[in-house]
Each structure stands twice: as structure tokens, then as C-alpha cells.
Structure 1
Amino acid sequence: MARRKKTVAKGQEGSAGEKTPAANHVRRPPTLQDLAEIVGLTANTVSRALNDRPGVSNAARALIKAEAERLGYVPNIHARSLVLGSRKTIGVVVSNISNPFFADLVSEVELQAQKAGYTVLLLLTYESAERERDAIHRALQSGLNGIIAAPAQERSDAWTPVIKSGIPLVLVSRELPELGVDFYSNDNEAGIQLTTDFVLAQGAKDVVLIDEDMPFSTIRIRIEGFRRSLERHGISFDARRHLVLVPPPRSFRVAQSWHADDAYRVASDLLDRGRRPDAFVVGDDYYALGLYRALRERRIRVPHDTMVMGWGNHPFTRFMEPPLSTLLLPFQEVASRATRRLLNRIEGTADNQVVTERIVPELILRGSTTR
């Protein structure tokens, strides 16, 4: 059973140290009538202006659109079905469902939502800021009751319209503390320290971390946790020596967001420059596949010559030779908690607090680290 660890984003501590007021979720989305009352015109005139129909002066049109943007008003193409009570929908915004974490997330959200009478609208960003903005716009236009999202970038401005709209938003995996919304994730720092501390305790002195070169909070936190583990064991961290970042794929439309062949190339380059680390810690089990090949081609034995520690406990890890030691991430628990929190926000039964939870993963030990 994965242990659960609750924390709170920096600068948001409440009296209990875990929750803070959630001002962003207490108001309803602005309506067409709200906008009409503010500008002092009829709802019909406002609607015509927003849809660029004739019969509205240029001055009135400009005023209406400016006020709509200020309020965060987005026309709801499903307003009629919502009024009739026939549409209850949760949006899920993630990068790519080929990522096992996001595949499990979507499955768990759909399961929980179905039990509560909601359907799920899936919107993919492929880690693109432009696609993320498009997904957010579609989500707002679709009249969603709430959104669960793993942001594509470490910038929060794209999500400001959601906050302005009053639609409940829960983030998973990647944190944007400045938004002041609920957040659920694996505890990436605790996880990387579990894996790194273990290989160091086994006697490794020269450890290399292979991870993605992407602007995500998860990557930044893992690198920082790796550095702290080394320093606790008396090893001074040198990014040029201890860190290998895999370039992002050319396209996120491919079957996997991270490629074993990319890890193979960077590992081969490192080994061909004469490096023979005592241990490798990788940011995803798929990287271990490529690393294994690079090591095997150079007759470097695992674990006798170097240890390898994975991340994710993907199904194939038990069948690698030797079987890969890795980290079991509590995907489903993260998704389940995030979904229940969002549903409570939608139904108005959640307390008026921001909750941040990071759930500690479990270390799975196999032959790749046993000497």
C-alpha cells in the first residue's frame, strides 16, 4: 500500500499546515445575462456582438468584447443541455494517453465520473503550449462542470480564463501553485530519493540520472531530489557529471512520449566517452530499455558492473534480463483522489480550502540492483 503524504504549496500554508482558502472556486461562471447587465444592453444585443452578427455598433461591440474578456466570459455552446440538466461532463486535459500515467488517470477519472453520473471529455495537448490553449478554449466552450488537468508547461497564464470562469479545476502531476487550486501527485522528490538512496547504500559512488529535458515541475523536483540524495551521502553534485537529459521527441503524436532509442543514444554517448558509472537512475522504465541495450553492446553487466534503477513499474520490467528494480507509482490513487475532490467541488460539498497531496511511491527491488 502506497503511503500518503500531504503537503501544501509554498506560501499557501493554513493554520493546520495543509489547507488554504480556495477563493477561486467559490463563484459561478459569468453568464450572458451578467455581461448584459454590466454593459447596460440586452442579452440579445450582447449575443449578437459576441458572435459578430450585424445590428450592433462598432463601439458597442468593442465594449462588450472587452468586458467579456475582463470577466472571463466564454460562450457556452452546450448551455441549453445544461439548463435542461441533461449534460454533466468533466474535462480531462493531459498530454498523451500513450503515457501509462495519463492512461491510468483517464481510466480512473472515467470510472469515478460514471459512478457519479458524469461523462468525460478528453482533450490532448501533446505537451504543446498552443495545443493547451486550444484545449482550454474548447473546454470552456463545451460548458464543462469541472476540469482535471496535467499542465503542459510551467506557466499558469493559459489557465487564467478557467480561474476567471469559476469552473472547478484540479491539477494532477504538474503543479502551478500560483493558481491556488487543488493538486494531487506522486511525491516525486520522495520517489527519486528512495531510488537514489538505495543504490548509494549498495555501495555506488558514481551515479548518473537519465531524465527528460522538458520544462515540467516533475523533472525539476526529481533533479533536485537526486542532488540532495548525493549530497547526503557526501557526493558533491555536478550536473555535467551526474545528469544526462534526453532531448524531447520531435513529435508527441508518436506511440510513446519517451523513447527507448533516445535513451540508448545518450547512454551510448556517455559510455563511449569512457564513463562507467556504478549505477544509473532513470526517470522512466522505457529509458532503462535503451540503457540496457547500450550496456549489453559494451559487455557491461547489470548489476555486477553497474546497477540500474527504473521509474514507473511498467509491466515489462519484470521480464527484462535482469528484472528491473523500479518505483511503483500510485497512479490510480492520485486519479481517484483528484476526481473525488473535483466532484465535491462541482456538487458544492467540498470545504473552502485548497488541498495539496503528494503520495509517496513504493520501491520495488529486483535483479538490476542486487549484487
Structure 2
Amino acid sequence: MNSPRRVTLQDIATSVGLSVNTVSRALAGKSAVSEATRAMIKAEADRLGYVPNTMARSLVLGQAMTIGVVITNPSNPFYSRMISAVEQRGSVLGYSMLLVVSEENHTNELRAVDSMRRWGVDGALVVPVQPEVEHWRRLMAAGTEMVLVNRDLPELDCDLVGIDYERSAYEATLHLLDTGVEQVYLLEEDLQISTVRARVDGFHRALAERGVPPESVRELRVPTRRRAANTLPWEPAEAYELAQHLAADVPPRSGILVGNDSFALGVYRAFSEAGRVIGDEVAVVGFGDHPFAAYLAPGLTSVRLPAEQVGAAAVDQLVARIGRRGSAAPRARISFPGDLVVRGSSTHRQPAAADPGSS
């Protein structure tokens, strides 16, 4: 039995009575083809089951038409949403995606660099394990364009697309202070990464601006196990254990800024078990606005992060770099603001559990 033959541009051209060149330009979205002709050609291509030959296109263009994406862990809701945006935007621009997960492990990241060099990707979107940079320098020196995503490596001459975490934490802390809290707490990750540093800086900037005395502030680092491959990126358990001690000591009219919503889950459980009322005597604000945030009781006030915008913008920036490979264009630093979604955990009331929140 003969295998089915792959439909070619010539097949479409013969079917519609036009040249192969016209068919090729129409399917590539190029000009000099009327919209009516383009629509007719696309309809016939769909009818015949035409699938573009990416390998052949790569040979013609001299590019792999592949973007490498290195992230820490896809179970992080921010990164799962970002990956979807990268895949969708990359597909529109004709690029496939090679995904590698580092699990916050430097050795895994070195393997990721090797994988991208073997596959010959045209460019890489990287959420780096910090602070090492030499392997990334080697990748760039080998001709692979690179854009950092969400985390910064200031030592690296590289574009960055991410979130303005400093501003977001600053505004979230001001919101807590505006609720009238008298004691302020910060529960943050213990990883030495740029996103954590930015949130801590924003927290302290707000306190300094409002003249909050040091004795009214307490900063705690939640021990994480994110370097272990068998754990989720954030474990509520660690925050729960820490918050069990905190719940016994926190005075009424306190406010807690939590570095991510998963840690906030641990805080909710510990305070509930201790009979402490979140949203009344204790205000809580999280980061990430994960899907469960609106369905806690009370709903969790949280900073919503525009993962889809970050992913799409990172692809656009990388593809632009690939297009002008070797140029000395200034490095870009693109940041998107977080959006504070206010719910019952910081408004001293008890709303319905599924309050969708407001910005």
C-alpha cells in the first residue's frame, strides 16, 4: 500500500489555476495578492489538506524557525499562562517552541543550554536560575539571540521582558497601610532572585514613604524546596508551618503582604485554625491572583500579573532581535504593571466566597 502523498504548493496552484509563486505569497501573507484571491487560495489549501513544510522553509530561510523557552516550573500558574501565550504568538509568526524546564536547578539549566545549541534554535526566552551568567554568555556568543523573561540578570547584555514587581509591591503595601493596619508583615520566598528583591524593595519604599517605624514591621522568609525536582514551585506547607507560629503572635489590626498566592493558602489555614479572622482583624494581600484567589473565604486580595502580555511581548522582542541579528540596537527593558485586585481579605468585611473582585 502506498503512503498518502503530501499536498504541495503546486497541487494548490494547479487546482486554482494560478502560479506557484502567487499561491506561496498568498499563504505567506505577503502583499501583491488581493484579499479575494488570498481567501480563495487558503480555502483550497484547507480543502486539500495542505500543511506547510517547516523543514523546507527553514532550509530556504537559513533558520530553524524554533524558539527555545527555558522556565523554572510549568506548574506555576504564571508560567503556564505565559507558555500558552508564547506558543500562540510564536505560531502566528511561524515559529515552533522547544520547552525546557530547569526546576530552579543550575545543572538542569546547563543541560538546557546544551539542548538549545544542539537543536540550533534561532533564539531563546529564558527565566534564569540566578545568579550564574557564563553559560548564557556562551549561548549568545554562539549566535543565539536571547531575551530574559520575568527575572533579570543585570550582568548580561540582554533584553528583558517582565513585571514591574517593585511598583506592584509598593502599591500593594500602600493598600495595606490604607486599611489602617498598625503592624505590617512580609512573608517572602527565601530565593535570591530579582523578582523577590524587587518586591522587598517596593515593600520598604512604601513603608518609608508613610513613615512606618521599624518596630511596626516584621519580615519573614519562607523556606522553599523549589530546587527539588519532585516539588511544586511554591509549597503552601512551608508558609503554613511558619504562619502557625505567626497566628499566635500577630496583634489585631495587622497586615500581611505575601510573596505569592500559594503561600497565602498556608496563611489562611493557619489563621483559621487559630481562630483569627482574615479580612477583619488581619488583612492579607497576595501576589499572582491565581484562579483560586476569588474562591477563598474571604476572597484574597492579590496582585494580578499579566502573564499573557509578557509572553507575547517576549516573543515579539525576540523575533525582532532575530530579524536584525548582529546589530548593535540598544537593549530593551520592557515591564508591565501588576493590577491590584481588591477582595475581602483586605477590606475588613466578610464577602461571598466567590466575589470576583474589582481593580
In the alignment, the residues of structure 2 paired with residue 225 and residue 344 of structure 1 have an alpha-carbon distance, to the nearest angstrom, of: 32
Superposition map of 1:120-199 within 5 A:
120-199=97-176
Q: CA deviation at 1:369?
A: 0.8
Q: Which residue of 2 aligns with 1:271?
A: 247
Structure 1, unmatched stretches of 5+, are 1-78
In the alignment, the residues of structure 2 paired with residue 288 and residue 225 of structure 1 have an alpha-carbon distance, to the nearest angstrom, of: 19
* SS in structure 1 of the partner of residue 220 of structure 2: strand
Q: TM-score, normalised by structure 1?
A: 0.74
In the alignment, the residues of structure 1 paired with residue 214 and residue 150 of structure 2 have an alpha-carbon distance, to the nearest angstrom, of: 26
Q: Which residue of 1 aligns with 2:74?
A: 97
Q: CA deviation at 1:184?
A: 0.8
Q: Which residue of 1 aligns with 2:30?
A: none
Q: TM-score, normalised by structure 2?
A: 0.76
The structure with the largest alpha-carbon Rg is 2
Q: CA deviation at 1:83?
A: 4.2
Superposition map of 1:58-137 within 5 A:
83=59, 87-137=64-114
> Any conservation in 2 of the 1:175–1:183 contact (CA below 8 Å)?
yes
Q: CA deviation at 1:139?
A: 0.9
* SS in structure 2 of the partner of residue 242 of structure 1: strand
RMSD value over aligned CA atoms?
A: 2.2
CA gap of 1:238–1:120, structure 2 versus 1, over 3 A, is farther
CA gap of 1:165–1:238, structure 2 versus 1, over 3 A, is farther
- The residue type paired with residue 285 of structure 1 is D
Q: CA deviation at 1:269?
A: 2.1
The yes-or-no answer on 1:226 pairing with 2:198 is no
With 110-119 and 344-353 compared, the bigger mean Cα shift is at 344-353
* SS in structure 2 of the partner of residue 153 of structure 1: coil
Q: 2:280 aligns with which of 278, 297, 304?
A: 304
Q: How many residues align?
A: 291
In the alignment, the residues of structure 1 paired with residue 292 and residue 201 of structure 2 have an alpha-carbon distance, to the nearest angstrom, of: 28
Q: CA deviation at 1:295?
A: 0.5
CA gap of 1:83–1:286, structure 2 versus 1, over 3 A, is same
Q: CA deviation at 1:96?
A: 0.6
Superposition map of 1:181-330 within 5 A:
181-237=158-214, 242-249=218-225, 252-254=228-230, 256-272=232-248, 274-276=249-251, 278-330=254-306
Describe the superposition over 1:278-320 as per-residue Cα deviations: whole angstroms up to 9, x where unpaired. 0111111111111011111111111111001111111111110
The yes-or-no answer on 1:367 pairing with 2:324 is no
Identity %: 32
CA gap of 1:174–1:223, structure 2 versus 1, over 3 A, is same
> Any conservation in 2 of the 1:208–1:242 contact (CA below 8 Å)?
yes
Q: CA deviation at 1:82?
A: 5.2
Structure 2, unmatched stretches of 5+, are 1-54, 349-359
The yes-or-no answer on 1:353 pairing with 2:330 is yes
- The residue type paired with residue 218 of structure 1 is T
Q: CA deviation at 1:178?
A: 2.0
